Chains A and B, each alone.
Chain A
Amino acid sequence: MTPPLLQRAALWRAASLGLWALVMLVSSVDGRLDLLLRAVFHPLVALAGLLLLLVALLQLRLAFGPGRQERGDRRQARTLLLTAAIALLVLLLPPAPSFADLAGQRPRDETAESELSFVLPPAQRSLTDWVRLLRSQPDPKLFAGDPVRISGFVLPMEGEPPQLARLLVRCCLADASPVGLPVHWPAGQAPFPADQWLAIDGVMGLKPAPGGGERLEVVPSRIRPIPRPARPLEP
């Protein structure tokens, strides 16, 4: 007696492929990809989802079409059931990474830009723009007093106050590397929890660095907690 699953292998294949197609297509529209992958790959994922859906529909036609019913073997059945279950799990459990936890284990992004071809006015620079600019122009005095309007998440630092940070991603979350700016947190302010997204308005100020010397820190005039932006990763 063949188990019922094996009597309609094509149907199960169609269901499994359909679930994976759904994973790719749903991720493309529900904003999940913005959290996982760099934007250039998004169309590729959507296209793969459509292709898989097409193949799934063809398999469905095969399952109900005329002709001999195809009987699969047990190994095939196990593969089909397992892949379907995993696809369902991925679909039902969206990713909820802790950026601070991820950033805490990664070395800082050290991309050395030899020269910046294009510099935005201070108030329009994002956190990432600021980090890159400060790295290419190591003299902090040049920027003291510049207005700052940035957003990022709170990244706890070892031995110093937390920084405001962003994750840079070149392909997917697996290669994320953090960049951060030190913040001169107002005295008496209760510390923000790790991972909290903040929008900070203020100015750049020269402050004593923990290791000696001076460094630029963001001196906030206004700190607003904000929800995580729709596109939290930066290229």
Chain B
Amino acid sequence: MILTRLATAWALFQGLLIEALPFLLIGVLISAGARWFAPGGRWLRRLPSHPLLGPLTGAALGFALPACECGNVPVARRMLSGGAPLGAGLGFLFAAPVLNPIVIASTWAAFPDQPWLLLARPLGAVVVAVGLALLLGLVGEPQLLQADLLAERRLHQPLAAVGLLERSSGLVGAPPPSALSAEAAPVRPPLAELMKHASQEFLYLALLLVMGSVIAALVQSFVPRSWLLAVGGAPTLSILALMLLALVVSVCSSVDAFLALSFAAQVTPGALLAFLLLGPVIDLKLVSLLGLLFRPRGLVLTTAGAALMVLLIGQWVNLWRL
């Protein structure tokens, strides 16, 4: 019995992993392409740092980069390490998995008879992304971001933008003119260097994806899903249950609408939307990948903040649609 279940979990693991790896590769290639075409990434630092405009711009970038949430992490990491304003990077990280042509098309394909969902999903994703960017912005970068990401980020930020206490090196005061001119002419990395970096990044992210998929496969095999859907009709419980399901199932945002279709008839509309909003922001498969960007505190805040906002949105939708 336990062996059968483990064999099933092994197959689930392979399914999750092999489905996500191509998307991860796309993300790594986009991130490498950005390093090649815009070495130094000066455009990143020109993104708005306004608390509201920043995340909105980041979210809008999702339309240009059709990746789902696994492919999104390397791109967001590249943005943040290149010195993009925190809000813009986080806005991209959290909203782009929903705000991209592929995901919107697949949502429409799955729910052609529910036009409200087609509007509510991107809108909700933007609200959650802006809310999370504001929330995480309160923490302060040294407490939020992983040490090596932070170190890379500092290299690309103008020294004046970094508080004295946050600097680990560098001169005090305005940068000397020589530093400015060095920054003005970024060098394109040699192709071999670019490939090396991309391969190393892909392998490292693949390892994290493996860990996430193992956890997701084990939880899925040993916790019967019918427990979660048993509460389908109750307004608040159904939202909570489907949020938990989104965390556990860990399928990519480009296909989760089709999965939601299979139980759409059994649950409240708010719960359905909650499932479609929370999964792209955080799930078991993503936790280890996001650990590449955030310290544990950032991870906890992301999960709690996203869960709270999605719950509120779901409740509101239930009041409106039920």
Q: Is A163 positioned at the interface, with any CB of B under 8 Å from its CB?
A: no
Q: Which residues of A contact B15 (CB under 8 A)?
A: 36-37, 95, 172-174
Q: Bound state CA distance, A142 and B224, in angstroms?
A: 35
Contact string against B for A residues 1-24, beta-carbon threshold 8 Å, 1 for contact and 0 otherwise: 000000000100100110010011
Q: Which residues of B contact A20 (CB under 8 A)?
A: 21, 203, 206
Q: Is B255 positioned at the interface, with any CB of A under 8 Å from its CB?
A: yes
Q: Bound state CA distance, A92 and B54, in angstroms?
A: 47
- Asked if B25 and A175 make an inter-chain contact with CB atoms under 8 angstroms apart, the answer reads no
Q: Which residues of A contact B207 (CB under 8 A)?
A: 79, 82-83, 86
Q: Which residues of A contact B204 (CB under 8 A)?
A: 79, 83
Q: Is A52 positioned at the interface, with any CB of B under 8 Å from its CB?
A: yes
Q: A110-B263, A111-B265, A172-B251 are in contact. Are A36 and B14 (CB under 8 A)?
A: yes
User: How many whole Å from A169's CB to the nearest CB in chain B?
Assistant: 9
- Asked if A170 and B11 make an inter-chain contact with CB atoms under 8 angstroms apart, the answer reads no
Q: Which residues of A contact B5 (CB under 8 A)?
A: 98, 101
- Asked if B8 and A102 make an inter-chain contact with CB atoms under 8 angstroms apart, the answer reads yes
- Asked if B19 and A41 make an inter-chain contact with CB atoms under 8 angstroms apart, the answer reads yes
- Determine chain B's interface SS by DSSP, over half rule: helix
User: How many whole Å from B135's CB to the nearest CB in chain A?
Assistant: 30
Q: A33-B18, A79-B203, A174-B216 are in contact. Are A105 and B251 (CB under 8 A)?
A: no
Q: Which residues of B contact A171 (CB under 8 A)?
A: 19, 251-252, 255-256, 258-259
- Asked if A174 and B14 make an inter-chain contact with CB atoms under 8 angstroms apart, the answer reads no
User: How many whole Å from B77's CB to the nearest CB in chain A?
Assistant: 16
- Asked if A111 and B225 make an inter-chain contact with CB atoms under 8 angstroms apart, the answer reads no
Q: Is B321 positioned at the interface, with any CB of A under 8 Å from its CB?
A: no
Stretch at the interface among B42-50, B82-90, B159-167, B193-201: B193-201
- Asked if A17 and B262 make an inter-chain contact with CB atoms under 8 angstroms apart, the answer reads no
- Asked if A170 and B259 make an inter-chain contact with CB atoms under 8 angstroms apart, the answer reads yes
User: How many whole Å from B66's CB to the nearest CB in chain A?
Assistant: 13
Q: A27-B18, A98-B8 are in contact. Are A76 and B200 (CB under 8 A)?
A: yes
Q: Is A106 positioned at the interface, with any CB of B under 8 Å from its CB?
A: yes
Q: A59-B195, A105-B226, A111-B262 are in contact. Are A174 and B250 (CB under 8 A)?
A: yes
Residues of B in contact with A, size category: 35 or more
Q: Is A157 positioned at the interface, with any CB of B under 8 Å from its CB?
A: no
Contact string against B for A residues 63-99, beta-carbon threshold 8 Å, 1 for contact and 0 otherwise: 0000000100000100110110010001001011110
Of all chain A residues, which has the CB nearest B229?
Answer: A107
User: How many whole Å from B13's CB to the nearest CB in chain A?
Assistant: 8
User: How many whole Å from A226's CB to the nearest CB in chain B?
Assistant: 20
Of all chain A residues, which has the CB nearest B224?
Answer: A105
Q: Which residues of A contact B266 (CB under 8 A)?
A: 107, 110
- Asked if B10 and A93 make an inter-chain contact with CB atoms under 8 angstroms apart, the answer reads yes
User: How many whole Å from B209's CB to the nearest CB in chain A?
Assistant: 10
Q: Is A116 positioned at the interface, with any CB of B under 8 Å from its CB?
A: no
Of all chain A residues, which has the CB nearest B228?
Answer: A107
- Asked if B262 and A24 make an inter-chain contact with CB atoms under 8 angstroms apart, the answer reads no
Q: Is B217 positioned at the interface, with any CB of A under 8 Å from its CB?
A: yes
Number of interface residues of A (CB under 8 A): 56
Q: Which residues of B contact A102 (CB under 8 A)?
A: 8, 12, 221
Q: Is B7 positioned at the interface, with any CB of A under 8 Å from its CB?
A: yes
Of all chain B residues, which has the CB nearest A175?
Answer: B259
User: How many whole Å from B31's CB to the nearest CB in chain A?
Assistant: 14
User: How many whole Å from B228's CB to the nearest CB in chain A?
Assistant: 9
- Asked if A109 and B251 make an inter-chain contact with CB atoms under 8 angstroms apart, the answer reads no
- Asked if A36 and B11 make an inter-chain contact with CB atoms under 8 angstroms apart, the answer reads yes
Q: Is A29 positioned at the interface, with any CB of B under 8 Å from its CB?
A: no
Q: A59-B195, A101-B4 are in contact. Are A17 and B203 (CB under 8 A)?
A: yes
- Asked if A110 and B265 make an inter-chain contact with CB atoms under 8 angstroms apart, the answer reads yes
For chain B, residues 259 to 293, give those with C-beta under 8 angstroms from any C-beta of chain A. Answer: 259, 261-266
Q: Is A200 positioned at the interface, with any CB of B under 8 Å from its CB?
A: no
Q: A13-B199, A70-B196 are in contact. Are A109 and B262 (CB under 8 A)?
A: yes
- Asked if B12 and A174 make an inter-chain contact with CB atoms under 8 angstroms apart, the answer reads yes
Of all chain B residues, which has the CB nearest A97?
Answer: B11
Q: Is A144 positioned at the interface, with any CB of B under 8 Å from its CB?
A: no
Q: Is A199 positioned at the interface, with any CB of B under 8 Å from its CB?
A: no
Q: Bound state CA distance, A114 and B113, in angstroms?
A: 10
Of all chain A residues, which has the CB nearest B202?
Answer: A17
Q: A24-B21, A48-B22, A86-B210 are in contact. List 4 more A-B contacts (CB 8 A).
A: A37-B19, A83-B206, A97-B8, A105-B224
| Residues in chain B within 8 A of chain A (CB atoms) | 4-5, 7-8, 10-12, 14-19, 21-22, 25, 29, 113, 192, 195-196, 198-200, 202-204, 206-207, 210, 216-217, 220-221, 224-226, 229, 249-252, 255-256, 258-259, 261-266
| Residues in chain A within 8 A of chain B (CB atoms) | 10, 13, 16-17, 20, 23-24, 27, 32-33, 35-37, 41, 44-45, 47-48, 51-52, 55-56, 58-59, 62, 70, 76, 79-80, 82-83, 86, 90, 93, 95-98, 101-102, 105-107, 109-112, 114, 168, 170-175, 177
List 10 tightest A-B contacts by C-beta distance, closest first. A95-B11, A97-B11, A170-B258, A48-B22, A173-B15, A171-B255, A172-B15, A36-B15, A175-B259, A105-B224
8 residue pairs from A and B, CB less than 8 Å apart: A10-B196, A51-B29, A70-B196, A76-B200, A83-B206, A111-B262, A174-B12, A174-B250
